[in-house]
A and B are shown apart, each in its own frame.
Chain A
Amino acid sequence: RKEVEQDPGPFNVPEGATVAFNCTYSNSASQSFFWYRQDCRKEPKLLMSVYSSGNEDGRFTAQLNRASQYISLLIRDSKLSDSATYLCVVRKDSGGYQKVTFGTGTKLQVIP
């Protein structure tokens, strides 16, 4: 089983729609969680951290469920510019450094 698993998609949604992605992780000792966004042929960029209480940034909401070991990302009122691949990232302490594991990403295509 992969340490971090994501549905690769693609998720094709119309503009204005709400879309949600989940990401599951296998190591219950994981400590920090993030969503990154990666545009085609570009570098990943931090979208948001995911906190235990859930957090929101504009149209984006991230949730963490430690009991079921998954994190989620909800995008409301989708824009064409949201089209990208969304990477789930999990971090845990591993003998002196933070081991960071990236998911393979979920591709979102927002359609006019």
Chain B
Amino acid sequence: DAGITQSPRHKVTETGTPVTLRCHQTENHRYMYWYRQDPGHGLRLIHYSYGVKDTDKGEVSDGYSVSRSKTEDFLLTLESATSSQTSVYFCAISESSQPRGTEQYFGPGTRLTVT
């Protein structure tokens, strides 16, 4: 299995509080991604990173920010959590973004509940 860890694995927080989720990889892969997974929806991309300090928005980026100060760490921050952000969050990594590049490998997920 790819060396990807996420922390925390579970979190319950209150509406309006800031929350930071961490993704850590030991594979030295260039690309890192944050997804959320909700019933009735496929995995949806929040933000991704194509290198240290290089990030861009995905399809559901509103209310989220990210930072990547080291190759191995990709942080997802909910500035002010809302109940609609209750979800399972997956981090993924890939070596390349090219069509024939290596595929995405996922971390174990973080279950976030916003009350």
- Against B, the Cβ 8 Å flags (1 = close, 0 = not) of A13-52 are 0000000000000000001101000000011111001000
Give the size category of A's interface with B: 20 to 34
**Cβ contact within 8 Å between A98 and B106:** no
**Cβ contact within 8 Å between A104 and B41:** yes
Q: A43-B107, A46-B105, A97-B50 are in contact. Are A105 and B42 (CB under 8 A)?
A: yes
Q: A42-B108, A49-B103, A98-B99 are in contact. Are A4 and B90 (CB under 8 A)?
A: no
**Apart from A44-B43, A87-B42, A97-B56, what are 19 other A-B pairs with CB-CB below 8 Å?**
A32-B99, A32-B100, A42-B108, A43-B106, A43-B107, A43-B108, A43-B109, A45-B105, A45-B106, A46-B104, A46-B105, A87-B43, A93-B99, A97-B48, A97-B97, A98-B99, A101-B42, A104-B42, A105-B42
Show the binding face of A for B, using Cβ within 8 Å.
4, 31-32, 34, 42-46, 49, 87, 91, 93, 97-98, 100-105
Show the binding face of B for A, using Cβ within 8 Å.
40-45, 48, 50, 56, 90, 97-100, 103-109
